Amino acid sequence: MADDQAGSAEREPVAEAPPSPGRREALLNSLVAVGVLPGAALFAGYAARYLVPRSHRRDAEVLVGSVDDFSVGSIRNLELFGQRIVLIRRAEGFVAFGTRCSHLGCFAHWDGQLELEGEPQPGGFYCPCHGAKFYPDGRVHSGPPPEGLPPFTVAVREDLVFVTVPVYEDPLGEA
């Protein structure tokens, strides 16, 4: 009976060492680190690009050709500093408009056959995304855009044609 009492006496628990990570767990941890760290760095870069506004704007005057390169009524599509622009030579001079529609950012294009109410001759800008139409001077004719097409300044000096384009330089160093 003495043996029964001795066996029923509580034994103190022995502290066990934590198990060492196996090779499988170490491999899994290293794969997570290899995937998470570059992903976090990429996310931080995009977040910085979104949160830091492009605050530095300068205007660049770009030579697009000589006056003789454009006949009256000609239309030239240009891409200057990442902006799509249509340059039109009319009898009274040159005009230029950005082609990004103010509705959802789609690109409008010149349609010489587009008939618009109140215009003596066909021709205007058309945005295919939602059927928006713009007068030849960039104003909205119909459709959902809240604003017309943005005008660009055109200058002619010594028979050379220049278009002034805004260029945005962000604080993170990219134009």
CATH of the domain at 92: 2.102.10.10
Given a cut of 90, whether residue 163 has pLDDT beyond it is: yes
Instruction: Check whether residue 70 and residue 43 sit in a common domain.
Output: no
Structural domain span for residue 153: 56-169
Instruction: Check whether residue 90 and residue 144 sit in a common domain.
Output: yes
Instruction: Check whether residue 130 and residue 104 sit in a common domain.
Output: yes
| Structural domain includes residue 91 | yes
Instruction: Check whether residue 39 and residue 108 sit in a common domain.
Output: no
Instruction: Check whether residue 92 and residue 147 sit in a common domain.
Output: yes
Q: pLDDT tens for residues 45-69? A: 777 777 766 567 788 889 999 999 9
Instruction: Check whether residue 73 and residue 41 sit in a common domain.
Output: no
Mean pLDDT of 130-145: 84
Quick one: three-class SS letters along the chain?
CHHHHHHHCCCCCCCCCCCCCCHHHHHHHHHHHHHHHHHHHHHHHHHHHHHCCCCEEEEEEEEEEEHHHCCCCCEEEEEECCEEEEEEEECCEEEEEECECCCCCCECEEECCCCCCCCCCCCEEEECCCCEEECCCCCEEECCCCCCCCEEEEEEECCEEEEEEEEEECCCCCC
For position 128, what pLDDT does the model report?
Answer: 82
Given a cut of 70, whether residue 168 has pLDDT beyond it is: yes
Q: How many domains does the chain have?
A: 2
The whole model's pTM is what? 0.61
Given a cut of 60, whether residue 172 has pLDDT beyond it is: no
| Structural domain includes residue 116 | yes
Instruction: Check whether residue 40 and residue 120 sit in a common domain.
Output: no
For position 134, what pLDDT does the model report?
Answer: 87
For position 14, what pLDDT does the model report?
Answer: 67
| Structural domain includes residue 2 | no
| Structural domain includes residue 13 | no
For position 173, what pLDDT does the model report?
Answer: 55
Given a cut of 50, whether residue 86 has pLDDT beyond it is: yes
| Structural domain includes residue 92 | yes
Instruction: Check whether residue 26 and residue 95 sit in a common domain.
Output: no
Instruction: Check whether residue 41 and residue 71 sit in a common domain.
Output: no
How far, rounded to the nearest angstrom, does the alpha carbon of residue 136 sit from its chain's CA centroid? 26
| Higher local confidence (pLDDT), 126 or 5 | 126
For position 162, what pLDDT does the model report?
Answer: 95
Instruction: Check whether residue 157 and residue 71 sit in a common domain.
Output: yes
How far, rounded to the nearest angstrom, does the alpha carbon of residue 35 sit from its chain's CA centroid? 27
Instruction: Check whether residue 129 and residue 163 sit in a common domain.
Output: yes
Q: pLDDT tens for residues 8-38? A: 556 776 667 666 667 778 787 787 777 777 8
For position 175, what pLDDT does the model report?
Answer: 47
Average pLDDT across the chain, whole number:
79
Instruction: Check whether residue 41 and residue 86 sit in a common domain.
Output: no
